[in-house]
Amino acid sequence: MKNLSVPVQYLRGVGPARARMFNFAGIETAEDLLSWIPVRYEDRTKFLPIASLSEGDRCVVKGKISASGKRPVRKRGFSLFEVIVSDGRGAISIKFFNQPYMSNILKEGRTAVFFGRVSLDKYNGFLTMLNPEIEIMGSGEDELIHSDRIVPVYRRIDKISGRMIRKTVFMFLSESPEMREMIPNEILKKYGFPEISEALKEIHFPSVPPGVDPEAFVRILHERETVAQKRMAYGEFFVFQAGMKQARIDNARVSSSKDIKITPRLKERVIKILPFKPTQAQKKALGEIVRDIVAPRRMNRLLQGDVGSGKTIVALQAMIVLVENGYQAAIMAPTELLAEQHFIGISRLLSNSPYRVGFLSSSVKGNSRNKFFENLASGEIQLVVGTHSLIQKGVEFKNLGLAVIDEQHRFGVSQRVMLGEKGFEPDILVMTATPIPRSLAMTLYGDLDVSIIDQMPPGRIPVKTVVKSESGREEVFSLVREKLKAGEQVYVVCPLVEESEQSDLTAATETCSRLQDIFPAAGVGLLHGRMSPEEKTLVMEDFRKGNLQVLVTTTVVEVGIDVPSATVMIIEHAERFGLSQMHQLRGRVGRGLRPGLCVLMVAGKGTREAAARLRVMSESNNGFVIAEKDLEIRGPGDYLGARQSGAADFHFGNLVKHFSLLADARQDVSDLFDQGGISRNAKKLLLESFSKKWGDKAGFYSSG
Ligand code: ADP
Ligand code: MG
């Protein structure tokens, strides 16, 4: 008997050529094929009377072919074949473009079913269907697959049509392949879930429950709310959460051999570096972090908080705890610019402290680089700030006790693993300024503890956000003029242009020279991804010092900078930006005492989705709210995709629609593992399945 691990090549109807196309799309086994779920379903149980059709209907008609013929086409190499189909009461013309073989299939006198969209023939004003899917009646088992049922519609894979996929799936399922059940029986019972084989059959070839209208059932299918769909989603979450749970267990076992003492002297020092009173949220976060540092297990913590909520200073305090205990601590940023920013900020905060701070990026070269490595290995450097360079091979620490990773989205898992290999099992603190909705944090960082700073330092006035169209530009410019006169500074962000980095640059360059003309007295600077780190630093410094009052940037450059007199952020083509991205950019203004303003310039009409994003931006200033909305509007796939988080992706599960199932699975797995309600063997299977699916991609799994 076949099982789910059979390679697709050995499925009926799939030879080496198709197998290659499947493989290229990531479909290696029958199981992968069954995870290629329908993009939608079509109710093909009801045939509409041809006489009742009207333009725009997506429908199924059944009738006899009463006439057929080739139609002349002007262009060489093109063909058009037409049949007239009648059901006794009405007739319709059906055309096939460039499918000459249809003349062999659609012979006069045959009865066939057509699924497609009714349109109006521009030339003669009659109703027609162009390139519908067809099924000849009375020709064998295929009619059972493609008609007279709720039919799954699949996205095509290369040259393999959706119809071909449907047939392949159908034939495989009808062989009753063996499937391994991952969900324990009691849990299936608890939720009233069907067994896996039943569920997969229902996902691909749903049967309408008795008494339910097929059309209504299709709607439920599209909402992904049938019991089969929920079961498969749950099953996927269950396996995922098993992996996460095991990671948490493993992690708790990794003992950290560090000897950390919190003395009154240390407490005093940690507080002394603060030039202000910490917020309640900062205190709480630091408390959680320090508790982890002291605990005899390794810390794996995510620190979430909006831009400007004061994460860096909390991280720095944690670093001091390590340094005071004789260990080294590192903080790493994703870009040179951010690393430098941290270095400057931290050096300033520590200017009256005895700690020795080092800096490494790719711009530290030659002799000073060698010197740096020496000092790092000897322990001469206690606190180090840098970029990815810090975790490259050959960089040796004396005793790294804590690694703080800023803006984790750009750090891949492998990088975190490499960091772990730096020895001494450093505690790990990941900071992110893009708050992640709880639902996602739970899945992506299932093995991480989470601290949240959800409070802004006092005195910060929320940034006001307005949406303007091109017709409001003059108004915006005169406002900018006033701000510049008052000595304030302005960012102008140009969006990513799809085509290339080059056109990206062109757009920014043009904006820059236009603004130079409009504001001749203000220095207008340009920052873009093609500049060398040295050039970037120079421009940044000029902006920070106020030599430049306006800074035009492309999004290639992370504007991770802290310039208190920057009060205005203009985002060009705001309709092209994601919510979280805009929110992040907005956080760069209003960091001083003067109120910030964010202008979202919108060109053209944009999509409804874009309009929704802009509305959210002008209504909320809270990163956590925005993250939730972002997830809601874009859906998790896009949301995560835009972050390139290498996050877990689910085939059956949808984080928005099935969120409560995710939470259920987490709880169920946790209970089962904790109470020993699962056999060793079942556990082993679950974890194998987990690593097969997510082992090297799941957020933070490989931390142990
Ligand atoms: P984040 O890293 O979360 O974006 P930062 O740590 O860079 O935020 O802090 C933003 C700004 O707010 C910095 O200038 C910092 O010195 C200041 N700051 C942080 N915490 C407080 C506080 N409790 N009170 C006043 N200012 C603060
Ligand atoms: Mg920061």
Distance (angstroms) between ligand 2 centre and the Cα of 336 equals 14
Distance CA 665, CA 645 (A): 22
Q: What is the crossing angle of helices 227-253 and 680-694, to 10°?
A: 100
Q: Is the CB of 472 under 6 A from ligand 1?
A: no
Question: Is the per-residue pLDDT at 641 higher than 60?
Answer: no
pLDDT at 411: 46
CB atoms near residue 123 (< 10 Å): 7
Residue among 240, 300, 369, 365 at smallest CA distance from 666: 240
Cα 515 from Cα 526, distance rounded (Å): 11
Report which protein residue has its CA nearest ligand 1's atom 15. 310
What pLDDT score was predicted for residue 439? 67
pLDDT at 248: 74
pLDDT band at 690 (very low <50, low <70, confident <90, very high): confident
**Ligand 1, from 274, 312, 349: best to mutate by most atoms within 8 Å of Cβ?**
312
Mean model confidence pLDDT for the chain:
86
Q: CB of 309 closer than 6 A to ligand 1?
A: yes
Contact 653, 237 (CB under 8 A): yes
Distance of CA 546 to the CA centre of its chain: 37
Average pLDDT over residues 254-283: 88
Q: Is the CB of 305 under 6 A from ligand 1?
A: yes
Residue 277 sits at φ, ψ, to 5 deg, of: -80, 130
The single-letter code of the amino acid at 33 is L
Structural tokens at position 482: 């006033």
DSSP of 440-497, one letter per residue?
A: HHHHHTTTSEEEEE--PPTTPPPPEEEEEEGGGHHHHHHHHHHHHHTT-EEEEEEPPP
- Among the listed residues 655, 601, 666, the one whose alpha carbon sits nearest the alpha carbon of residue 628: 655
The Å distance, Cα 456 to ligand 1 centre, comes to: 8
- pLDDT for 35: 94
Identify the pLDDT of residue 243.
86
The verdict on the CB of residue 282 being under 6 Å from ligand 1 is: yes
Q: Which residues contact 458 (CB under 8 A, 6 or more apart)?
A: 279
Is the pLDDT assigned to residue 508 strictly greater than 70?
yes
Q: Answer whether 522 contacts ligand 1 (Cβ < 6 A).
A: no
Predicted pLDDT at 556: 52
* 549 pLDDT tier (thresholds 50, 70, 90): very high
Residue 176 confidence (pLDDT) = 92
Ligand 1 center to residue 127 CA distance, Å? 66
Distance 631 CA to ligand 1 centre (A): 27
Atom of ligand 1 nearest to the CA of 591: 11
Task: Tell me the per-residue pLDDT of 44-91, one tens digit each, with 9 for 90 and over.
Answer: 888 889 999 999 888 889 999 999 998 888 888 888 999 999 998 999
Amino acid 639 reads: Y
**Does residue 417 surpass a pLDDT of 70?**
no
Q: How far apart are CA 289 and CA 427, in angstroms?
A: 10
Q: Which atom of ligand 1 is nearest to the CA of 305?
A: 3
d(CA 692, CA 282): 39
Write down the pLDDT at residue 420: 56
Give the number of the atom of ligand 1 that is nearest the alpha carbon of residue 278: 23
Quickly state the pLDDT bin for 502 (edges 50, 70, 90): low
Q: How far apart are the C-alpha atoms of 310 and 304, rounded to whole Å? A: 10
Q: Which amino acid is at 203?
A: I
Crossing angle for the helix pair 608-619 and 623-643, to the nearest 10 degrees: 140
pLDDT of residue 41: 94
Residue 600's H or E segment, with its range, is strand 597-602
Confidence of residue 409 (pLDDT cuts 50, 70, 90): low
Tokens of 49: 């009377």
Question: Is the separation of the CB atoms in 689 and 635 below 8 Å?
Answer: no
Work out the pLDDT band at 219, boundaries 50, 70, 90. Answer: very high
> Residue 149: phi, psi to the nearest 5?
-160, 180
Is ligand 1 within 6 A of the CB of residue 562? yes
425 or 114: whose pLDDT is higher?
114
Q: Once rounded to an integer, what is the mean pLDDT over residues 180-196? A: 95
SS (H, E, C) 114-163: EEEEEEECCCCCCEEEECCEEEECCCCCHHHHHCCCEEEECCCECCECHH
Q: Which two tokens stand for residue 296?
A: 């005899």
Q: Kindly report which listed range (56-65, 482-491, 500-509) carries the lowest average pLDDT score.
A: 500-509
State mean pLDDT over 131-151: 80
Residue 645 confidence (pLDDT) above 50: no
Ligand 1: residue whose CA is nearest its atom 24: 457
Locate 556 and state its tokens: 């290639």
- pLDDT value at position 37? 95
Rg over CA atoms, the chain: 31
pLDDT of residue 457 exceeding 60: yes
Q: Contact, 587 vs 307, CB < 8 A?
A: yes
- The pLDDT of residue 297: 79
- For residues 578 and 634, what is the distance between their CA atoms, to the nearest angstrom? 9
Q: For atom 17 of ligand 1, which residue has the closest CA?
A: 310
Question: In sequence order, what are the residues at sequence separation of 6 or more whose Cβ sits closer than 8 angstroms to the Cβ of residue 229?
Answer: 203, 221, 652
Q: Where is average pLDDT lowest: 156-170, 243-257, 367-381, 513-527? A: 243-257
CA distance 9 to 73: 39
Residue having the nearest C-alpha atom to atom 18 of ligand 1:
310
pLDDT band per the 50, 70, 90 thresholds, residue 663? confident
Closest CA to 466 of 619, 307, 623, 624: 619
Coil/strand/helix, residue 73: coil
Alpha helices in 300-404 (DSSP H): 311-324, 336-349, 366-378
Q: Which residues, other chains included, contact 8 with Cβ-Cβ below 8 Å and sequence gap of 6+?
A: 14, 18, 19, 22, 23, 27, 28, 29, 30, 32, 33
Q: pTM of the prediction?
A: 0.64
Does the CB atom of residue 346 touch ligand 1 within 6 A?
A: no
Sign of CA dihedral 286, 255, 686, 33: positive
Contact 40, 62 (CB under 8 A): no
The mean pLDDT value for 489-504 works out to 72
Q: How far apart are CA 195 and CA 292, in angstroms?
A: 42
* CA atoms 434, 241, 229, 166: torsion sign: positive
Residue nearest to atom 6 of ligand 1 (CA): 310
pLDDT for the residue 392: 72
From the list 702, 116, 40, 230, the residue with the least C-alpha distance to 421 is 702
Task: Say which amino acid occupies 201.
Answer: K
SS3 at position 371: helix
Asked which of 500-514, 525-539, 606-620 is least confident by mean pLDDT, the reply is 500-514
Q: Which of these, 542, 548, 541, lies nearest to 522 by C-alpha position?
A: 548
pLDDT in tens, 270-320: 988 888 999 999 999 999 999 999 988 788 888 988 878 899 999 999 999
Q: Cα–Cα distances in Å, from 4 out to 32, 175, 428?
A: 8, 11, 39
Average pLDDT over every residue of 245-256? 74
Strand pairing report for 427-432 and 400-406: parallel
Q: State the pLDDT at residue 697.
A: 44
C-alpha–C-alpha distance, residues 533 and 466, integer Å: 33
First to last CA, the chain: 39
Higher pLDDT, 200 or 456: 200
- Among protein residues, the one whose CA lies closest to atom 26 of ligand 1: 457
Split at pLDDT 50, 70, 90, the class of 499 is very low
> Ligand 1 centroid vs 261 CA: distance in angstroms?
27
pLDDT for 704 equals 27
- Tokens for 361, please give them: 């990026």
Atom 9 (ligand 1) nearest CA? 310
pLDDT higher than 70, residue 167: yes
